[in-house]
């Protein structure tokens, strides 16, 4: 027995676990009894603090005891990601529709100086004073969300590359639920409270980064398990979940609001939270490449030690700041080419397009056509059916465009770019029709045509992803998220101001929000007409891919990118 006993006589009291044991203190199966092992002193290489060892043991036990619910096949992962995105968007839409009516009612009581216990008919709340305040509250909320997103998007993008996609996905959803909870809690008080305090809820998405980080992480996970040929199809499949949510959520929320109360959809939203967390836990960790692995060997900033908790707090903070600045420089190096800069215009205008097609559209129909907010939700359901049909037919169209034996024989990139150009053309024409609509029928025709071009968002992501190396996708999506947040400054507030000006001026100018969105749409179309296909990596570049600096992504510059 003495031959197999480990000599620990000279070990310090606060030493680490034996180097040949696992995190639970058991002997490793590769333990050599003839080799003496000692614990490292505090500060020596290999030392890990008691807290770090406890975290490691907790993670190992949690992993061992967690039921084997995680999927393994890529297609199953894509399906779960599509469901998560769909339910997240469905929850957001149901939340938005219900809160829109509750906030309108609160502004109405405040305007008429009546207690909340005294109901006010919805038709009396359609005056310019109430509607303009409602529009500006939504616009300012988008700006605050944009500022929070600018602060949080990139750090969480870095964490997605360093720690993994799934932890960031869970944290972002947790922050979203906290943000969603603030407004209903505030409105549940029977005493008068300033409605503008609801803007505080937008700041709670600092925890996890909010919806942009959630969506970016979903797309990063899909990109991790996709090839160049399947990336576009997988992104479009993720869009199916969002389209189905757009089909089901508004009509469901409208029916529940009309039949019962605006509070019931909110209760349903929060009842789905446990199932969303379970679905996220079932996902595998798709991050397989450790970014900067070669550089880490020569990196003396102690980032890995900081993550393990082996450095003092001050040193940890300094190292993380230095690492974050380095990652920020690396991310901005991604967008040096002209093509990729042009591809950032679609996410820049996304907020304005969203505002014009959701909250402002509901206000527009309710204000000018006498519909209640609950009734406006039924306008969206037929459009959701059309959108599903478009997404279902798009793979067939894509297959015809890339068929080597067919007429067009386009590459995957050219196919995505062509479809994106068509989508923006159709969307711009549809917005012009909505802007000049003189009755609900003409407006619906414009909405129907616009649905045919409603696939621009996933196509734009597929196009821009082709310009970066696969291991840089999470950083790219963090940059896209920052651009989307910047777009909020030309989105929500400007669209709300256009709606207010349209109410004041009347006539054809009442469609000013849609005119504005149409102009942005045609600007994006012009940018896409200037985008050129990236060249594939040269063989020498592929051979030297591990020695590339952050300024070189391994792609030959297209002639159009050269100065």
Query: pLDDT per residue over 215-264, tens digit each?
Result: 888 888 888 887 766 777 787 778 777 777 877 888 888 888 888 888 89
What class is the 74-286+338-537 domain?
mainly alpha
Is the sign of the CA dihedral 232, 236, 237, 242 positive or negative?
positive
Check residue 154 and report its DSSP letter.
H
Q: In the chain, pLDDT over 70 holds for what percent of residues?
A: 72
pTM of the model: 0.64
Where does the pLDDT of residue 321 fall: very low under 50, low under 70, confident under 90, or very high at 90 and above? low
pLDDT at 155: 78
Residue 392 in this model has a pLDDT that exceeds 60:
yes
> What phi and psi, each to the nearest 5 degrees, are found at residue 185?
-65, -40
Categorize the per-residue pLDDT at 61 as very low, low, confident or very high, splitting at 50, 70 and 90.
Answer: low
Three-state SS at 333: helix
- Residue 229 contacts residue 367 (beta carbons within 8 Å): no
pLDDT band at 395 (very low <50, low <70, confident <90, very high): confident
Q: Please provide the DSSP assignment of 299-331 as one string.
A: --S-HHHHHHT-S-HHHHHHHHHHHHHHHHHHH
H or E element: which one contains 437?
none
The residue with greater pLDDT, 297 or 441, is 441
Average pLDDT, integer, range 380-394: 77
Q: Which pLDDT band holds residue 431 (cuts at 50, 70, 90)? A: very high
- Cα separation, 425 vs 454, in Å, equals 11
What integer best gives the mean pLDDT of the chain? 74
Measure the CA–CA gap between 386 and 447, rounded to whole angstroms.
10
Reported confidence tier of residue 430, pLDDT bands at 50, 70, 90:
very high
Q: How many CB atoms lie within 10 A of CB 121?
A: 8
pLDDT in tens, 331-343: 667 777 788 888 8
Q: Which pLDDT value is given to residue 319?
A: 64
Task: Look at 299 and 377; give whichever has higher pLDDT.
Answer: 377
pLDDT of residue 67: 47
* pLDDT of 35: 46
Give yes or no for residue 305 having a pLDDT over 50: no
Domain borders along the chain are: 74-286+338-537
Q: Calculate the alpha carbon distances from 563 to 158, 312, 344 in Å.
A: 31, 47, 19
Range from 179-188, 390-399, 417-426 carrying the lowest mean pLDDT: 390-399
Q: pLDDT value at position 432? A: 92
What pLDDT does 425 receive?
92
pLDDT digits 0-9 by tens, 460-498: 888 888 887 777 776 787 788 778 878 888 888 888 888
Task: Tell me the pLDDT tens digit for each residue of 123-174.
Answer: 888 887 888 888 888 888 878 877 887 787 777 877 777 778 888 889 999 9
> Residue 381: what pLDDT?
73
* Of 447 and 332, the one with more pLDDT: 447
Q: Is-contact 552 538, C-beta < 8 A?
A: no
């Amino acid at each position: 027995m003495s031959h197999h006993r480990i000599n620990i006589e000279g070990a310090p009291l606060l030493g680490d676990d034996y180097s040949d044991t696992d995190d639970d203190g058991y002997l490793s199966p590769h333990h050599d009894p003839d080799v003496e092992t000692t614990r490292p002193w505090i500060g020596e290489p290999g030392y890990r603090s008691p807290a770090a060892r406890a975290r490691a043991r907790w993670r190992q036990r949690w992993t061992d005891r967690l039921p084997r619910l995680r999927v393994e096949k890529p297609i199953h992962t894509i399906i779960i990601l599509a469901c998560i995105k769909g339910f997240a968007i469905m929850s957001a839409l149901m939340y938005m529709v219900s809160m829109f009516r509750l906030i309108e009612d609160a502004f109405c009581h405040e305007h008429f100086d009546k207690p909340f216990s005294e109901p006010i008919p919805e038709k009396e709340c359609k005056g310019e004073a109430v509607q303009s305040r409602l529009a500006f509250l939504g616009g300012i909320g988008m700006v605050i969300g944009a500022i929070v997103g600018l602060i949080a998007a990139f750090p969480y993008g870095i964490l997605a590359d360093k720690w993994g996609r799934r932890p960031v996905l869970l944290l972002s959803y947790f922050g979203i639920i906290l943000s969603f909870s603030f407004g209903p809690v505030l409105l549940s008080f029977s005493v008068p409270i300033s409605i503008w305090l609801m803007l505080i809820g937008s700041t709670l998405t600092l925890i996890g980064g909010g919806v942009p980080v959630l969506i970016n992480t979903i797309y990063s996970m899909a990109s991790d398990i996709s090839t160049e040929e399947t990336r576009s199809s997988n992104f479009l499949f993720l869009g199916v979940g969002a389209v189905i949510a757009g089909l089901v959520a508004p009509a469901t929320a409208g029916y529940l609001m009309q039949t019962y109360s605006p509070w019931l959809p909110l209760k349903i939203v929060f009842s789905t939270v446990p199932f969303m967390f379970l679905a996220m836990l079932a996902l595998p960790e798709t991050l397989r490449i450790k970014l900067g692995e070669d550089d880490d060997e020569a990196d003396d900033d102690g980032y890995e030690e900081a993550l393990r908790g082996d450095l003092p707090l001050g040193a940890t903070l300094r190292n993380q700041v230095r690492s974050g600045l380095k990652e920020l420089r690396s991310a901005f190096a991604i967008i040096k080419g002209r093509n990729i800069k042009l591809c950032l215009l679609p996410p820049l205008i996304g907020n304005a397009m969203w505002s014009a097609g959701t909250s402002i559209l509901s206000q527009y129909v309710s204000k000018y056509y006498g519909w209640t907010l609950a009734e406006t939700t039924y306008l969206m359901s037929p459009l959701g059916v059309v959108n599903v049909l478009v997404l279902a037919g798009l793979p067939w169209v894509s297959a015809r465009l890339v068929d080597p034996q067919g007429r067009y024989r386009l590459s995957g990139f050219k196919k995505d770019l062509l479809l994106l150009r068509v989508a923006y053309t159709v969307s711009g024409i549809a917005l012009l029709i909505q802007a000049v609509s003189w009755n609900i029928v003409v407006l619906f025709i414009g909405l129907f045509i616009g649905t045919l071009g409603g696939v621009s968002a996933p196509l734009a992501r597929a196009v821009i992803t082709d310009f970066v190396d696969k291991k840089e996708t999470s950083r790219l999506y963090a940059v896209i998220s920052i651009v989307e947040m910047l777009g909020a400054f030309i989105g929500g507030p400007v669209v709300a101001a256009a709606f207010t000006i349209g109410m004041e001026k009347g006539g054809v100018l009442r469609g000013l929000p849609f005119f504005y969105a149409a102009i942005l749409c045609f600007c994006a179309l012009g940018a896409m007409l200037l985008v050129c296909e990236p060249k594939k990596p040269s063989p020498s570049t592929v051979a030297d891919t591990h020695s590339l600096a952050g300024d070189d992504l391994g792609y030959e510059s297209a002639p159009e990118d050269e100065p």
